Amino acid sequence: MDKRELDMYKLEDTIKALLENVPIKRIARLQKISKNTVKKYRILVEEILRLKPWIRDDLPALMEEFRRSRKAERYSENHGWLETSQNLVEELSARCPNYVRLQEVLKEKGFKGSYSSLLRYVSKSTLCKEQPIMRIESQPGELAQVDFGYVGKIYDAEKRDYVKAYVFVLVLAFSRDGYYEIVTSQDIKTWCRCHIHAFEHFGGVPKIIIPDNLKSAIIKASYCDPLANKTYGDLAHHYGFQIDPCLPGTPEHKGKVESGVKYVKNNFIPLRTFTDIEDANRQLRQWNAASARTRIHGTTRKQPEELFQRFEQQELLLLRRERFEIPVWKHLKVYRDIHIQFDKAYYSVPSDLRGQYVEARKTESQLAIFFEHELKAVHRPMPAGKRSTNKDHYPPDMGSYMKEDTDYCLREAGKVGVYTRQVVTVLLNEEAIRNLRGAQNILRLQKKYGRQRLEAACGRAAFFCNYSYGGIKNILEKELDIHDRVMTEKDTKLCSLYARDLAEYLTQKEVSVGNISTN
């Protein structure tokens, strides 16, 4: 049976002519259809009027009955069985995605059709049940969509090997103008750096950016409460745009950039060779300027570059002069030594945060540490294995020892006097044991005894070579620096009682007696 149907007006004119008893040949000639088709329609109309004669003068009702009858005729026995068993087919197809097994079960229920007829019915039924889509058109400068796409392996000159390469694509939703860049990573630094390059390429910033739910953009994908990556959030605050992520599992929400990625993969990558990543990006920029921006877009029917320059460029947000310094955030624990480890370097925090978790934000110029959104410490970035320690972060009893190092002690001892500096220098530099604590405690004695007495006590200790904290403290406690005059080389006179002439030692011969030698 012919499944084709006449258009609405031609079919209605044919039915009117049959009701008015116009000859079949004339109807066929006027409507330009087959005489057999007119005969078939006449038989169907007569059958409808036999069953429902009261609708002869009601043309709309007659047409509705005619279409219903034609629909029933057009369905084959197999298709008709599926139609009448719609609920059963839907229930079984929902439980069994394998249509071969589904056909076996339906045959047990009475279905006699082929696998192809079942597949056509299920496919059509599924398509009809899908939700309709709405295409959203944005205003100039309002929206941009962004994503990565894998483009194969390209030689990396730094690693001296072929590595996986990805194309970063940012498409302006109104003009369909795009920025493209080939990279070897999808980490947060690459993600933000590509955004910056795109903004500088366009000379402005779109108001809203729609990313996918990759970790460099969205930490937690959610229908109502998505959580953005802190670094990406900092980038948004710096340039003034908002992040509007796709819902999880809905890439169609950013269809423009999905098409942009496919456009690069299908129109740029094939039949091209690249010496390295830099060469690939150079060719990509040339292709974008010569082909991508000047093509007639399939949807807008305009050149992306033309729409961008005429309507969108002036609507973008102004680009800030200060280029964004890309930070890296980490959630880190404070260890017993009141330091955190960030990129294998160590940074101190206040001692009351031992055992707590803090947020650390590192850029090329500084590392900031936050606890409960409050800034606790700032350091300069250090190379791996090095420490940055603020001695004020230690408790007072520990901080004093850390602050009063060798240079500090020597500097303070010089302020007291020559002998004090001599004693401290010996303790720190000349003795076998570097006695920093002893030097610190000697300097603290001036708080109790004063600078003048400490200098005198150190002078007496130096005369007797008693370079110890206990000896100097004993001198001060017994007031030896006050009552006893320290002997100096100037005041000392040698006794001549046992003196002998030097010539005797030079002329006297050695005499040996047994194991004893004498002069």
Residue 391 lies in a domain: yes
Residue 411 lies in a domain: no
In this prediction, residue 253 carries a pLDDT of 78
Residue 474 lies in a domain: no
Q: Helices marked H in 346-425 — which ranges?
A: 396-403, 406-416, 418-425
In this prediction, residue 27 carries a pLDDT of 85
Distance (Å, rounded) from C-alpha 217 to C-alpha 211?
7
The SS3 assignment for 300 reads coil
Give the chain's domain count: 4
241, 337: one domain = no
Residue 494 lies in a domain: no
DSSP readout, 230-293?
Answer: HHHHHHHHHHT-EE-PPPTT-GGGGHHHHHHHHHHHHHTSTT---SSHHHHHHHHHHHIIIIIT
Q: What is the pLDDT of residues 327-367, one digit of tens each?
A: 989 999 999 999 999 999 999 999 999 999 999 999 988 99
Neighbour-count burial of 9, counting CB atoms closer than 10 A to its CB (0-12 exposed, 13-18 middle, 19+ buried)? exposed
Mapping DSSP onto H, E and C, the string for 134-167 reads CCCCCCCCCEEEEEEEEEEEEEECCCCEEEEEEE
DSSP state, 221?
Answer: -
Q: What is the pLDDT of residues 142-172, one digit of tens each?
A: 999 999 999 999 999 888 899 999 999 999 9
Distance (Å, rounded) from C-alpha 145 to C-alpha 138?
12
Residue 352 lies in a domain: yes
The SS3 assignment for 431 reads coil
Q: Has this prediction a pTM greater than 0.75?
A: no
157, 123: one domain = no
The SS3 assignment for 185 reads coil
Which residues, other chains included, contact 290 with Cβ-Cβ below 8 Å and sequence gap of 6+? none
DSSP state, 427?
Answer: I
In this prediction, residue 247 carries a pLDDT of 81
209, 251: one domain = yes
Q: What are phi and psi of 194, to 5 degrees?
A: -65, -35
162, 246: one domain = yes
Q: In the β-sheet with 208-210, what is the strand arrangement from edge to edge? A: 178-183, 161-172, 143-156, 208-210, 242-243
Given a cut of 70, whether residue 414 has pLDDT beyond it is: yes
Residue 496 lies in a domain: no
387, 340: one domain = yes
Distance (Å, rounded) from C-alpha 401 to C-alpha 398?
6
Given a cut of 90, whether residue 277 has pLDDT beyond it is: yes
| pLDDT tier for residue 502 given thresholds of 50, 70 and 90 | low
Over its C-alpha atoms, the chain yields an Rg (Å, rounded) of: 47
Question: 514: which 2 tokens?
Answer: 């047994």
Q: What is the pLDDT of residues 372-399, one digit of tens each?
A: 989 999 999 999 999 998 888 888 766 5
What is the CATH number for 230? 3.30.420.10
In this prediction, residue 181 carries a pLDDT of 97
| pLDDT tier for residue 493 given thresholds of 50, 70 and 90 | very low
Distance (Å, rounded) from C-alpha 466 to C-alpha 471?
6
Given a cut of 80, whether residue 433 has pLDDT beyond it is: no
Q: Which domain holds residue 235?
A: 143-315
Contact criterion met (CB below 8 Å) for 358 and 379: no
What distance lies between CA 500 and its chain's CA centroid? 92
Place of tokens 């084709």: 4
Domain-terminating residue out of 289, 315, 341:
315
291, 181: one domain = yes
44, 88: one domain = no
Q: What is the pLDDT of residues 15-53, one digit of tens each?
A: 888 888 888 888 888 888 888 888 888 888 888 888 888
What's the angle, vertex CA 373, arms to CA 368 and CA 379, rounded to 5? 10
Q: What is the pLDDT of residues 60-79, one digit of tens each?
A: 888 888 878 776 665 666 67
155, 29: one domain = no
Question: Over the chain, what is the mean pLDDT?
Answer: 84
Q: Where are the beta strands (DSSP E) in 349-473?
A: 357-362, 367-371, 374-379, 387-388
Residue 481 lies in a domain: no
20, 165: one domain = no
Given a cut of 70, whether residue 128 has pLDDT beyond it is: no
Residue 519 lies in a domain: no
Report in angstroms the alpha-carbon separations of 151 from 21, 181, 278: 70, 11, 15
Neighbours of 164 (CB within 10 A): 13
243, 147: one domain = yes
